[in-house]
Structure 1
Amino acid sequence: MVFTRFLKGTFFYIQLCSLLILANFVSAAEHIAPPTLSSIENSDIEHLLPSDEIKTILAGETEFFSLYSEYMSSDFRGIVLLIPDWNSKPTNNSGMSFLRKELNNLGYTTYAMTVPDIDWQASKMAKTMPNETEAAPNKTEEPASPDASPNAATDTQPQPEKIKDEPHYVNAIEKVSDDVLDNYKINLISRFNALYQTAIEDSSNIVVIAQGTSAGVLLEHYADFPDERVNAFISLSSYLPNTKRNKGLNQTTSLVAPALLDIYYANDSNDILMNLKNRQRWVNRNAKFDYRQRQLFGLRDQPDQHARLTKEIDGFLRRLF
């Protein structure tokens, strides 16, 4: 009996030691970060699409994929660069995948670009202030007279009235900070410029079709008149998830040099729909005569909607070249 209790106690002790060792091993294991969204998308693209449609392009030190599809008509009309919305794929069912193939039948070669990952922790580097070694001038205090009493100042000088503190206003917290948007904009434009240099070798007619936030940051980019000239810019539900930046996008839209087709959907968010009238007002003020607005009804992932989208784009481009 005593021996049995001894065995049970020993077995319990061994189990306890094993659990403690396992707990220490688990706590000591290094944290393994999950794979990025772009790496998952690239893996899917490599497995699902033919290898001759995948082009690897280098932007600085970063490689990214671009889906290449050659024109399939008797007349070659130009090259279309397709840029999906951020956190989206070039094979999405919001129009990109359909346009990538359908525009080939209309005489366009297409490049559908993968977008960079969003760095939600992005922040600007703090500016280092120079060390100031200048010493403040020493103030010599005059010795107080022995006759002065502690209450002498209060007896001879009136006390100033207390100034009320001004009300403190707190601005609303933006959905996405300027730092996150600027980081995405820098990375996207770096890829876009590399893709543009690849496309310009084959044709002088370059068309850009961009979605959502990607369209918004590219409109900001082209409002600064960059060296990369395009013949037409088509934005699909262009929007910036920052109230101040999105409001400024109304004026920015009227300042871009290329001819602009601004397409939106009836079921877009209120942040997009409420700014459309202001965009048109800025376009009228800045006399951008090659600006067009078009509304599409219905869900954006329906086949009929894709056909209407292609028809609007084709009609707009045929008026240009």
Structure 2
Amino acid sequence: MPLFAMAEQQEPAKSEQTTEQKSEQETSNPAQEKSSSTQTKKSNQPLPIKELDLQKQDLKHYLSKERISPLLVGPTEYVTLIKNYSSANSKGVAILLPDWQQGATNPKAINYLANTLPEHGWTTITIQPDNKPDNYPSIAINTTEQKKANEEIISTYKNDFSLLIKAVMAKAKEYPGIVIIVSQGMHSTLLIDMFSQENSEPANALILLSSYFDTSAEFAFEENKRFAHQLAMSEYPVLDLFLKNDHPKAITYAKQRKSITEQEMKVYYRQRQLNNTVTGYYPEVELLSQIHSWLRAVGW
């Protein structure tokens, strides 16, 4: 066969191969474009909203504007709920502080007191505090590393917490009468620690609800014992309440606090266990009765 004929036969085959390659490239491009588009959509998806931000949004959405009072503490804006006293005479201000991970309107005790105490002469200021810090308590394998990490995290949280309480206390002093604080859980231990500092002015009285120092199991006894000693050495009146059906640590360390306060002979300290049916929920009538009787015993 002549050479020019062989060349003519080979060229079409080369041309067909080139067309097939182009076709394969063209069919592969849409898939790549689709994959790229999917990645772009994923990267543009908004991050989950923090629980604290959701709680603030809910308060602003569902409650009347008259009750909501934003409080600026440094660069951070907190939400407080204020309800003025509705009785003939004003007794003072009750600052209500829920535990971390709980909202300002949680039904376990705080919301009931916020709505009921004004009828008995108390202006209530309910705080929406920060949530529990991330990575607390530490899960480090080494015990020393756990303790160091826990101390660093709590120290940072304490600083912000202290600024918040001081700002709320300043707000409370705008109203006539004494200032008491009703605090739940871990925040009670931080309050006692804060008031034990020389440069901190304590409230006139403190009411504790199911309080204990929340930390790793290895350090729980030590930290709660320190909390009990700080409480026993305090000079302001304290009503210490917990429940029959409560968090196991709240029950265990309540007994420890009572023992240490009796040894130190702290004045104006009363501890009571209330009977309840639902774990963590305070019986409303009994709760209010205990608070009233204790305040009368103190002289208010």
Distance of 2:272 and 2:199 partners within structure 1? 26
| Cα distance, 1:307 vs structure 2 | 1.6
Between the aligned partners of 2:159 and 2:185, the Cα distance in structure 1 is 16
Match of 1:284 among 241, 249, 262: 262
Change (3 A) 1:80 1:170: closer
Does the CA-based 8 Å contact 2:246-2:279 persist in structure 1? no
What's the counterpart of residue 275 of structure 1?
253
- Are 1:252 and 2:227 counterparts? no
Supply the distance in 2 between the matched residues of 1:275 and 1:17 (Cα, whole angstroms): 62
Q: Which residue of 2 aligns with 1:111?
A: 125
Counterpart residue number, 2:8: none
* 1:214 CA displacement: 0.9
Show the counterpart of 2:291: 313
User: Which SS does the other structure have where 2:58 is aligned?
Assistant: helix
The TM-score normalised by the length of structure 1 is 0.75
Aligned pair in 2 of structure 1 residues 121, 61: CA closer, same or farther (>3 Å)?
A: same
C-alpha displacement of 1:247? 2.8
- List runs of 5+ in structure 2 lacking aligned partners: 1-15
Residue of structure 2 equivalent to 1:142: none
**Residues 129-162 of structure 1, C-alpha deviation per residue, up to 9 Å, x if partnerless?**
xxxxxxxxxxxxxxxxxxxxxxxxxxxxxxxxxx
Residues 118/271 of structure 1: CA separation in 2 closer, same or farther (3 Å cut): closer
Residue identity (%): 22
Q: Which residue of 1 aligns with 2:28?
A: 13
What SS does structure 1 have at the residue aligned with 2:66?
helix
Match for 2:275: what amino acid? F
Whether the 8 Å contact between 2:186 and 2:214 is mirrored in structure 1 is: yes
- Give the conservation status (yes or no) of the 8 Å contact 1:95–1:300: no
Amino acid at match of 1:105: E
1:183 aligned partner: 156
Paired position in structure 2 for 1:221: 194
Flag the structure with more relative contact order, 1 or 2, with Cα contacts below 8 A and sequence separation at least 6. Answer: 1
Change (3 A) 1:16 1:91: same
Which residues in structure 2 correspond to 1:109-258 (within 5 Å)? Answer: 109-120=123-134, 177-242=150-215, 243=220, 244-258=222-236
Offset at 1:18? 2.0
Aligned-partner Cα distance in 1 for 2:251–2:260: 15
Moved more, 276-285 or 85-94: 276-285
Aligned to 1:70: 84
Give the counterpart letter for 1:86 in structure 2. Answer: W
Q: For structure 1, which runs of at least 5 residues remain unmatched after alignment?
A: 124-168
Q: Is the 8 A contact 1:93 1:301 kept in 2?
A: no
CA deviations on 1:230-287 (whole Å, 9 max, x unpaired) are 2210010111112132232121221222100000011222222222232122212222
SS in 2 for 1:16: helix
Corresponding residue of 2:271 = 293
Please tell me whether the aligned partners of residues 122 and 183 of structure 1 are also in contact (alpha carbons under 8 angstroms). no
Please give the alpha-carbon distance, in whole angstroms, between the structure 2 residues aligned to 1:279 and 1:122: 24
Structure 2: distance between partners of 1:99 and 1:217: 21
**Residue of structure 1 equivalent to 2:5:** none
Counterpart CA distance in 1 for 2:239 and 2:71 is 28
How far apart are the structure 1 equivalents of 2:284 and 2:199? 31
Let me know the Cα RMSD of the aligned residues: 2.8
Would the aligned equivalents of 1:225 and 1:257 in 2 still touch at CA under 8 Å?
A: no
- 1:127 alignment partner in structure 2: none
Q: What SS is found at the alignment partner of 1:182?
A: helix
> Number of matched residues?
270
Q: Name the counterpart of 2:10.
A: none
Amino acid at match of 1:219: I
Residue 22 of structure 1: aligned partner: 37
The answer on whether the counterparts of 1:118 and 1:180 sit within 8 Å (CA) in structure 2 is: no
TM-score under structure 2 normalisation?
0.80
Residue 205 of structure 1 deviates from its aligned partner by: 0.3
